[in-house]
Amino acid sequence: MLNERDIDWVMSGSTVLAVYGVDLEPNDLDVVPSPDPGNLCRLADLLSDLDAVPAYDPSWRTGLTLEQCRSWRPEPLTLEQLDHLFVTQLGMVDVPPKLTGTYAQLKEGATRLEVAGVPVWVCDPHEVLDRVPDPPRPKDLARAEAYAALRVRLERDRTPLGLARFA
């Protein structure tokens, strides 16, 4: 749907690692949008059409309250206002405009791949691997061996081995 709406974005996060062959189940799709105002407007319209609301998690120190999540609207239309993990009709969509790298940073090393029959800019997997938090989250600890194996493989082979699972 992002492609159909002419939204300029780069995929980041764990889905990138899955595309490159790490055996994991992403919880969401990380969408890093171009900050162009028209692009943000198209993204906000799509989120609205998908009945998107920010996910509520009381453990997030700086997260929205349940009421703020329920009443969220994309105004003012800024990257900061769209910076949420959203619950949508199609699943979870995370819009992290800076946390995983800015659009400009990620687009520079991105590769255009066909994912599920749709052309997508996929960030360099090193961008994801290099941003694993320190200390690592529990999910990163569980995936540490797979991350290390991918780093080694990428030194000799940058083939996105996981594309078939998205066909």
Please report the DSSP string for 21-32 in residue order: T-----SSEEEE
What percent of the chain has pLDDT above 90? Answer: 90
Q: How many CB atoms lie within 10 A of CB 154?
A: 16
Specify if 2 maps to a domain: no
pLDDT tens for 27-85 read 999 999 999 999 999 999 999 999 999 999 988 888 899 999 999 999 999 999 999 99
What percent of the chain has pLDDT above 70? Answer: 100
Mean pLDDT of the chain: 95
pLDDT, mean of residues 134-140: 91
d(CA 164, CA 148): 22
Specify if 27 maps to a domain: yes
pLDDT at 142 over 90: yes
pLDDT, mean of residues 144-167: 95
Checking 111-118 for CB contacts under 8 A at 24+ apart, the result is: 111/160, 113/19, 113/160, 113/163, 114/163, 115/11, 115/19, 115/163, 115/166, 116/166, 116/167, 117/167, 118/3
Specify if 3 maps to a domain: no
pLDDT for the residue 63 = 84
Counting the structural domains of the chain, the total is 1
The H or E element spanning position 128 is: helix 125-129
Q: Which domain holds residue 77?
A: 9-166
Which stretches of the chain are assigned E, i.e. beta strand? 9-12, 29-33, 53-54, 85-88, 91-94, 111-115, 118-122
Q: What's this model's pTM, rounded to 2 decimal places?
A: 0.93
CA angle 74, 94, 7 (to 5 degrees): 65
Specify if 4 maps to a domain: no
pLDDT at 109 over 90: yes
Specify if 1 maps to a domain: no
